Structure 1
Amino acid sequence: MSKIPDTRQTLDVGSQTYHYYSLPKAAEALGNIDRLPKTLKILLENQLRFADDESVEADDLQALVDWQKEGKSSREIGYRPARVLMQDFTGVPGVVDLASMRNAVQALGDDPARINPLSPVDLVIDHSVMVDEFGNPQAFTDNVEIEMKRNRERYEFLRWGQHAFDNFRVVPPGTGICHQVNLEYLGKTVWSKEVDGKTYAFPDTLVGTDSHTTMINGLGILGWGVGGIEAEAAMLGQPVSMLIPEVVGFKLDGKLREGITATDLVLTVTQMLRDKGVVGKFVEFYGDGLKDLPLADRATIANMSPEFGATCGFFPVDEETLRYLRLTGRDDEQIELVEAYAKEQGLWREPGAEPIFSDTLALDMGDVEASLAGPKRPQDRVALGDMKKTFERILEEERKTRETKPGVQRNGSEEKGRLFSEGGQTAVGVERSYEEPESQPVNYRGQEFKLNPGAVVIAAITSCTNTSNPSVMMAAGLLARNAREKGLATQPWVKTSLAPGSKVVTDYLAAAGLNDDLDALGFNLVGYGCTTCIGNSGPLPDEIEKAVNDGDLTVASVLSGNRNFEGRIHPQVKTNWLASPPLVVAYALAGNVQVDLSEEPLGKDSDGNPVYLKDIWPSQAEIARAVEQVNTEMFHKEYSAVFEGDETWKAIDVPQSQVYEWPDSTYIQHPPFFDGMKREPEAIEDVKNARVLAMLGDSVTTDHISPAGAIKPDSPAGRYLQDHGIKPVDFNSYGSRRGNHEVMMRGTFANVRIQNEMLDGVVGGETRHVPTGEQMAIYDAAMKYQEEGTPLVVIAGKEYGTGSSRDWAAKGTRLLGVRAVIAESYERIHRSNLIGMGVVPLQFPEGQDRKALGLTGDEEVSIEGLSELTPGGDVKVTIKTADGKEHKLDAKCRIDTDNELAYYRHGGILHYVLRKMIGAA
């Protein structure tokens, strides 16, 4: 083993002396790193700082340097981020787990106060506001009032956590989206910390409980999304175990053409990288085109990293980084530190630099064209001029399917249905006859009209992806102004909303005089938070929803978000299209996606003349003048009291106790994960004669697995809430009830669009209880199997667990009694979360999968050797069919590292951490 080099140096910035671990000095001992990607330099610094010959060895350092030889490495390292970021949907269960760990420590006879975050944690409450009210000046006030009423129990708990735990801050509701608050305020690019009387400087790094944590990569900060379970371990001092990643370089040249937005660039980059294949890899942007790419545009691209499948989408530090830090009100000494440190450490972007990458691809930004993405995947880019024919093709495919597959059931009902399938998942809409869907007459708010297929029923300017970007927000406002001047108005069936990522957005829209124009078209402020993009779109007006259902109409949403997975935006809206904020406004005016906005008019002006999109689209010069209204004082104003909240928040009572006194609540419940936990882990038993709970296709997302969106009254979760005295009108969403495992386990695999292949043509959270042949809800079947003492497995296709870092996708899986998942391939975060909950992810051998083996879900599955697992090793799986035939497989264990194996052997990552903190591991 090599010796760990001593690389400590000092750096004087202003009147402050900073200590740091020098990368140039490390290179003297380890080898030249001039062309090492910036992201790996940050990992190298992290390893230098924590090198102790145990968790970090000299060979780990050398492996990062030697990575340059082949552009890849098989070396596992332990990475310790500087801080952790949470949003409330994923953060609440994290704090619930911390509170529960204190109970467990107390039960084991130790001091519960030992359970505290060891790294700084910021939780931003941004996922709870819903678009109940819209299109009027009172919408924001009313939605905030409804939010506080709905979520008071959760907020009381978070207020307790803020008081009880050290190193834990909460940004109250109504402030902004966590990623935009992170970009505009929390992020520092270079972090500093006092250790033994010395101030150390090091790269600002983080993990977050939301997959779009990567947005901060635009500010030269390395961060990515992890499951809530992994984030909890990180904030409790555990390293994030990872293989040194491949790094794909994406070279940007040129400039965007007139009329092309940052959103168009983002959708193009997303499509290119998804086609390239970057799952589990770092993406690092470089090239001289960066000098003309504003930081807001960089952050918009970085935000979409989960959509192109990468761990991160990193932009290096340069003059634009400093300009943005200055604009957003960071102090002068911090900005000086960022510049001095980045240049000293070789983290500064130099013109013409060509780092060594695992692979590269390039884009001339002058080739980007106006685009949307949909109807249900963010990587499926559609040129604006192709939207009309794309949607018409969808209708034609549905017509053909309707003719060939009549009488399809939905959730066991006898209603006729139709299928629209892609990527192994199937969407179903209820139809009343075999006839083509027709326009439906509607009388709404005193207006009579017909609702047609393709109608835009939701137009939402929402999500951190674009609301963090002044250029596209100003473009939306300018387009609204130009439309008003032409006498255009939003179509009456469109539910419009504006949900910015921070209060700064409304400040600069007002300063530019554009808020009145947006209001006039119905884009009134509805809240500061993640709304439509995560399914908090709220209900459609009753008259519109009835028309959609009665006509079985395929309608559309257009949103400026980053996710459009089926069933996510709204259960009645089957096609969902990602677009820039100005295009969201344009489609609200047109009212239908079957309009070719590149050639057909949006409507008519006050004189009856046709008005085309090009007639009202603002020029780059107009947008630039509007963006000049954004100033530093706006950021100082809105972030001066960011942790205080309004009077309602301040008035919430805070229990004064170290151990949480669990109330009788349907929002917060003491979870069972640590029940009966012993100081030493017990041996892992093999799986014998397990039944298949569900057999799923390709591209099953965490949205399909994890409870999300509205809770149906007749679902297991709905029945549970009604049994506890909660009326359906007060159900709130699954996301808001993530602190209650009873609700969440009932909602696992309950998505209305999930298709269990064990049931022919049935869509929704149903399965077959094999011994009796009875069809029932997946939760009900799981409980029946538990009563019978039968273990369970899930079988799936490719890319299992795509999407957001939803820890309940893994927690719910475990609580339902699933011991293993056997899939063709996994996306990174969900695979990690399964291990973190003690569920083993196995991978079919090449050429052997559910289809090749002819599986029906009636089989029994046995897994041997779980007590003798090795990372990436083979596991003996026997699948026994109903007629006694046996398939014997050598499945690959997708526990990839020794750390992950340790977590699995302890029953989960939190069990491992807890035992370690009390000296039992």
Structure 2
Amino acid sequence: MLKSDYKKILETSKGKVVMYDITKLEKNGLANIKRLPYSIRVLVENMLRKLDGHIVTEEDVLDVANWKPTYDAPKEIPYHPARVIMQDYTGIPGIVDLAAMRDAVNEAGKNPSVINPLVPVDLIVDHSVQVDYFGSEDSLDKNVDCEYRRNGERYAVLKWAQKAFLNVRIVPPSSGICHQVNLEYLGKVIDTRQIDGETVAICDTLVGTDSHTPMINAIGVMGWGVGGIEAEAVMLGQPYYMPIPEVIGLKLTGTIAEGITGTDVILTITELLRKHKVVEKFVEAFGPGIKALKIPDRATISNMSPEFGATMTFFPVDAETLRYLRFTGRVEEADLVEKYTKANGLFYDDSVTPEYTKVVELDLSTIKPCVAGPARPQDRIILKDLPKVMDDYAGKGAEVPLTLQGENFTLKNGSVVIAAITSCTNTSNPFVMIGAGLVAKKAVMRGLRVPAYVKTSLAPGSKVVTDYLEKSGLMPYLQALRFHTAGFGCTTCIGNSGPLHPIIEKTVKDNKMSVAAVLSGNRNFEARIHANVRANFLASPMLVVAYALAGTVNINMDTDPIAFNPNDEPVYLKDIWPTSEEIWALVESSLSSDDYLKEYGRILEGDKFWAALSANQSEIFDWQKDSTYIRRPPFFEGFKPVPAPITDIRNARVIALLGDSVTTDHISPAGSIMPDYPAGQYLIAHGNAKDDFNSYGSRRGNHEVMMRGTFGNVRIKNKLVEPKEGGYTKYVPTGEEMFIYDASMKYIESGIPTVILGGKEYGTGSSRDWAAKGTKLLGIRAVIAESFERIHRSNLAGMGVLPLVFKNDQGWKNLGLDGSETFTIEGLPDVTPRCTIKVKAVKPDGKVTEFDTMCRLDTDIEIEYFKHGGILDFVLRKLMI
């Protein structure tokens, strides 16, 4: 196969471009391209274009072009994403790692500039703003001021990186959320690159250091979340090795009924696909129902891919894609996209149904209004059933009369203390945002207001949102209900909800209440939203306003009044719920292409705070020894060109015995740092007052904080110390209870390896590299679980931590294990992909339990990473040759 045989010249408005024609594989009798899912066709283009006979071989191209619905064993391919997107929580640690790699290269007497991104990297600062201030016109300015005071040191690292590295573009704070910016601005669908003197058209593909990267799938761009360590390898020019995926077809039929929102659609899909076990699979939408879905609705669906466990949820390019590109100011790009996708078999053709691994059907007309919670996004609740769910979850509990801001009320289980319109998942959708404004308008006109104990906030993922809310005349009504703009970033969705009123917080803690948060986000795991808010419900922005007005989730929205007007007359949800016709009329009159062109034309400029930041221009980063934000990580200390040989794990102790659905929020929390926890004690010892702790997420550039915070979620349940919750364990040799960090250090000092025993869906949640990095630094050699979430398993492999899965439907419970045992895992020097590894557990009384596990190092390259001690060590050795 000659790559040059597949070149084709395409005439576009930008002139002639070269493309690689995958349809010619069919003409040459090598594959049947028409039967392939569209997402697989994008992979075929990637393989064909990158064919070099060395890294990408003819066999790789044909393996993908002749995709099979199922594979008996994983078939690995070298995929080359065209770009990388990062947010600051994961991006800054990535920059810190690159800086440390430069140090290692420099100390080896080589040129440190060999460490430099070879593919374009966009880093959007969106995760650090917190809702310290709310409910007033100056909330935004005050929150941004706080953000820079807390994070100026971190942001200076980004300014250094912008100068020190090529191919790095920084989108400054207060500009928007990375996935919404990616959808509305960065995404090209089809891009062009200069390759060997030619202008080559390529499929826009990417990986991102945030699990919600698949939001970009809505416009036909292949992208998904990976760990920071994998993203760093891609940046440095390494292929992303992956098994050829199975593809689940999501067949959509019917149309969305009146009164149903895109949020209702995705919460229904999340529940449906989680039941169909789509973990580590591609999902691809098709069928007549997709024609009724505009890009923002598709984006809401794709965004939630991690919540049902899929790698991504892909919508092929169609007429709606082209309309959206043109409307958001990408007119020339739309012309290229149309010509290229139609010429290369990538434009959606509804007359031919591709072959899929399995088809899951959903009639959109059957969807009902719903929310999800109280602790998992896949737990859908029909609206009228929410009071019963809340009652089953929390019971009645204490009822405490309080007075706040001159208002008397009773706080009890189910009281809404946080109502947040937040997250790219929903703020990218003008229908639900205008809808929320109309709900507010109708409520204000009926004399309703939000109770004093409800902390409200509006945090759009794009400045375009505030533009059209203001032009529509709806912003004053949102503000009348205290939904003032609090920031342009993730805020409550990532756990940056800020403090509750001290009286509220004390009452909740003293009475062990299960109060509620309602947010338009994508995650509601335990202690994510706020450490003292136990019940968290995902809802559309329109329902966020409604529940804020009600002040409780213990309400049947179908039959109960939301509130009473000043004349003591009941007001129901139906009284303030706008029609679709009302919403669309305002969307069309308030939103234009000019809004996108204006805001994205200046997005890289930043504000006065960004302009005031200074940074040194140097190849080597100047580490500050007294910094509690940025520290040189220990991963490359004493780096040797040849890795130490792999050894078996002998007589290991269990550091944590965990149940099902342990998330990366449990393993590596992003929110508040507790002063009595090891990370808080470290910060206090280094001169930080509690008010200056910031969050775990913002401290990820300091490994000393993060390893102390690993398994530091206040709601994690380690069976070794039950019923106690939080980051505690039992130091098994003495039976002492202590923090997991402290016990880990004792085990390391004693030369005793440790392991974790987990249940199903271990590592669900965000793509947090620190969930794996912290595990490694705590001396944990292996994690044995019933199943893993995709990204966390990959991250563990990428850090040289061994992921093992119980075989034969076994788990630590039915094997009779309780964490008192010592564990021996042999055969590691000869490990192969997905091989069987025997584990021997010995109880204190000498009883031996032996069981089989599957090694979840899935590919040959993951075996190499494991033998090198991790992916970055592997890449560094390769670059230093």
User: TM-score, with normalisation over the residues of structure 2?
Assistant: 0.98
2:751 corresponds to: 789
SS of residue matched to 1:86: strand
Give the letter aligned to residue 391 of structure 1.
M
1:256 corresponds to: 256
* Match runs of 1:122-521 below 5 Å: 122-330=122-330, 332-396=331-395, 437-521=397-481
1:94 corresponds to: 94
**Could you report, residue by residue, the CA deviation over 1:109-160 in whole angstroms, capped at 9, with x for unpaired residues?**
1100110001100000000000000111111010000000000110111110
2:526 corresponds to: 566
Matched, 1:905 2:867: yes
SS of residue matched to 1:356: coil
Give the letter aligned to residue 679 of structure 2.
A
**Could you report, residue by residue, the CA deviation over 1:864-894 in whole angstroms, capped at 9, with x for unpaired residues?**
1211110011223221111112222332111
Query: How far did residue 729 of structure 1 move?
Result: 1.1
The answer to whether the Cα contact below 8 Å between 2:322 and 2:334 also exists between their aligned partners in 1 is yes
- For structure 1, which segment, 724-733 or 27-36, has the greater mean C-alpha deviation from structure 2 after superposition? 27-36
The answer to whether the Cα contact below 8 Å between 1:260 and 1:368 also exists between their aligned partners in 2 is yes
**Could you report, residue by residue, the CA deviation over 1:430-471 in whole angstroms, capped at 9, with x for unpaired residues?**
xxxxxx622112121122221122100100000000000000
**Alignment partner of 1:760 out of 722, 746, 761:** 722
1:53 corresponds to: 53
RMSD of Structure 2 on Structure 1 (CA): 1.3
- For structure 1, which segment, 473-482 or 43-52, has the greater mean C-alpha deviation from structure 2 after superposition? 43-52
Distance 1:340 1:168 in 2: 30
Distance 2:701 2:407 in 1: 43
Matched, 1:691 2:650: no
The answer to whether the Cα contact below 8 Å between 2:520 and 2:539 also exists between their aligned partners in 1 is yes
1:634 corresponds to: 595
**Could you report, residue by residue, the CA deviation over 1:539-589 in whole angstroms, capped at 9, with x for unpaired residues?**
100111122123222111100000001111111111100000010000001
Distance 1:271 1:3 in 2: 46
Distance 1:261 1:462 in 2: 16
* Match runs of 1:641-656 below 5 Å: 641-656=602-617
The answer to whether the Cα contact below 8 Å between 1:329 and 1:633 also exists between their aligned partners in 2 is yes
Distance 2:303 2:828 in 1: 38
2:791 corresponds to: 829
Distance 1:811 1:478 in 2: 46
After superposition, the Cα gap between the structure-2 partners of 1:192 and 1:72, relative to the gap in structure 1 and judged at 3 Å, is farther
Distance 2:838 2:71 in 1: 33
Give the letter aligned to residue 84 of structure 1.
V
The answer to whether the Cα contact below 8 Å between 2:40 and 2:67 also exists between their aligned partners in 1 is no
Distance 1:374 1:849 in 2: 27
SS of residue matched to 2:78: strand
**Could you report, residue by residue, the CA deviation over 1:384-413 in whole angstroms, capped at 9, with x for unpaired residues?**
1111222122234xxxxxxxxxxxxxxxxx
Give the letter aligned to residue 337 of structure 2.
V
1:407 corresponds to: none
Query: How far did residue 607 of structure 1 move?
Result: 3.0
Give the letter aligned to residue 416 of structure 2.
V
SS of residue matched to 1:440: strand
Distance 1:682 1:327 in 2: 56
The answer to whether the Cα contact below 8 Å between 2:32 and 2:66 also exists between their aligned partners in 1 is no
Give the letter aligned to residue 711 of structure 2.
F
Distance 2:81 2:218 in 1: 17
1:409 corresponds to: none
Distance 1:194 1:58 in 2: 23
What is the number of residues matched between the two proteins? 878
2:773 corresponds to: 811
2:120 corresponds to: 120
**Could you report, residue by residue, the CA deviation over 1:809-849 in whole angstroms, capped at 9, with x for unpaired residues?**
00000000011111111111001100111111111121432
Distance 1:40 1:635 in 2: 31
**Percent identity of the aligned residues?**
56
The answer to whether the Cα contact below 8 Å between 1:72 and 1:245 also exists between their aligned partners in 2 is no
Distance 2:72 2:254 in 1: 30
**Alignment partner of 1:738 out of 671, 687, 700:** 700
The answer to whether the Cα contact below 8 Å between 2:69 and 2:247 also exists between their aligned partners in 1 is no
Give the letter aligned to residue 740 of structure 1.
N
Query: How far did residue 60 of structure 1 move?
Result: 1.8
Query: How far did residue 52 of structure 1 move?
Result: 2.0
Query: How far did residue 502 of structure 1 move?
Result: 0.7
The answer to whether the Cα contact below 8 Å between 1:215 and 1:299 also exists between their aligned partners in 2 is yes
The answer to whether the Cα contact below 8 Å between 2:69 and 2:356 also exists between their aligned partners in 1 is no
Query: How far did residue 69 of structure 1 move?
Result: 6.5
Distance 1:808 1:911 in 2: 16
SS of residue matched to 1:764: coil
Query: How far did residue 102 of structure 1 move?
Result: 0.2
- For structure 1, which segment, 284-293 or 144-153, has the greater mean C-alpha deviation from structure 2 after superposition? 284-293
**Alignment partner of 1:718 out of 680, 687, 693:** 680
**Could you report, residue by residue, the CA deviation over 1:190-223 in whole angstroms, capped at 9, with x for unpaired residues?**
0110012100001100000000000000011010
Query: How far did residue 352 of structure 1 move?
Result: 3.4
Return 5+ residue gaps in structure 1 as ranges: 397-435
1:526 corresponds to: 486
Give the letter aligned to residue 698 of structure 1.
D
Give the letter aligned to residue 520 of structure 1.
A
Distance 2:392 2:69 in 1: 48
Query: How far did residue 15 of structure 1 move?
Result: 4.8
Distance 2:416 2:164 in 1: 47
- For structure 1, which segment, 909-918 or 121-130, has the greater mean C-alpha deviation from structure 2 after superposition? 909-918
2:544 corresponds to: 584
The answer to whether the Cα contact below 8 Å between 2:14 and 2:332 also exists between their aligned partners in 1 is no
Query: How far did residue 3 of structure 1 move?
Result: 7.3
Distance 1:188 1:307 in 2: 26
SS of residue matched to 1:176: coil
Query: How far did residue 8 of structure 1 move?
Result: 1.3
After superposition, the Cα gap between the structure-2 partners of 1:751 and 1:280, relative to the gap in structure 1 and judged at 3 Å, is same
1:672 corresponds to: 634
The answer to whether the Cα contact below 8 Å between 1:71 and 1:247 also exists between their aligned partners in 2 is no
Give the letter aligned to residue 540 of structure 1.
L
SS of residue matched to 2:720: coil
Distance 2:614 2:388 in 1: 56
1:601 corresponds to: 561
SS of residue matched to 2:35: coil
1:538 corresponds to: 498
Distance 1:508 1:10 in 2: 41
Return 5+ residue gaps in structure 2 as ranges: none
**Could you report, residue by residue, the CA deviation over 1:274-306 in whole angstroms, capped at 9, with x for unpaired residues?**
111100000000112222211110001100000
Query: How far did residue 605 of structure 1 move?
Result: 2.5
The answer to whether the Cα contact below 8 Å between 1:108 and 1:679 also exists between their aligned partners in 2 is no
Query: How far did residue 68 of structure 1 move?
Result: 4.4
Distance 2:427 2:194 in 1: 35
SS of residue matched to 1:201: strand
The answer to whether the Cα contact below 8 Å between 2:254 and 2:289 also exists between their aligned partners in 1 is yes
SS of residue matched to 1:211: coil
1:615 corresponds to: 575
SS of residue matched to 2:52: coil
The answer to whether the Cα contact below 8 Å between 1:214 and 1:313 also exists between their aligned partners in 2 is yes
1:14 corresponds to: 13
Distance 2:720 2:69 in 1: 48
Give the letter aligned to residue 698 of structure 2.
S
Distance 1:73 1:315 in 2: 27
